[in-house]
Amino acid sequence: MGRRGLVTDSRNIGLAPSILSADFSFLGEAVRSVEQSAGWIHVDVMDGHFVPTITMGPLAVQSLVRLTSVPIECHLMIDNPWAIMPQFAQAGAARCTVHVETGRTAELAGMARALGISMGVALNPETPAAEIYPYLDSVDLVLVMTVNPGFGGQQFMPEVLPKLAEISSRVSEMGLEIDVEVDGGIGPGTVGQVVAAGANILVAGSAIFSAGTSPAAAAEKLIRVAMDAGVR
């Protein structure tokens, strides 16, 4: 359950650039451009059922693993993660995050351990925090969605912040060494709010790859803002 990322004020603040917002015709270059700031490379896996969009699968992850030494985390926005997780593990993913809404979370945690990868559990904006509490001691990460999953470039939902703070507090109260990740609308204008609420892993796509500057500069700026928020 070790954490990977930049350290400030005894907290680990890590960045997980989401390649969903990158230019797919130059995906290798996009990944390499953010390696210095990234703790993880975030791959959004969508099946057209759990969410309406279809994205990439294990073969894409296998290619990414050859391009970078940064570990790959796969966010499985799919109806049947138990059927596909072994393929992502075989492709080289270091972590798979599944949605509590799909069910069978305890079984999936056991599967991840057997496959030798770490696992996260995600919850949608409308899902109560209590839905993930039974699994906190068997996962490595909680992913709090701050947009409805399925599309990049959405607006951050500030109404999720109290739930984020509740989950972060619960993790601390239980004495767990697990990460609290946020995904959705994360950028310089929102990162301070989520870090203050307890997040320590930041998924960002549009703020890095569609920022109007180089992805490397955008990633470094986001980390600086997060670090500033973390030491207040």
Q: Is there a catalytic annotation at residue 228?
A: no
Exactly one of 9, 23, 44, 228 is catalytic; name it.
44
Angle in degrees, 0-180, between the axes of helices 58-67 and 81-91, rounded to the nearest 10: 30
Pairing assessment for the beta strands 6-8 and 11-17 based on DSSP bridges? antiparallel
| Strand order through the sheet with 95-99 | 6-8, 11-17, 201-204, 179-183, 141-145, 118-123, 95-99, 72-77, 41-46
Q: How far, in Å, CA of 210 to CA of 232, rounded?
A: 28
Exactly one of 23, 47, 183, 228 is catalytic; name it.
183
Q: Is there a catalytic annotation at residue 137?
A: no
Q: How far, in Å, CA of 97 to CA of 132, rounded?
A: 13
What are the tokens at 121? 């559990």
- Residues with a catalytic annotation lie at 44, 183
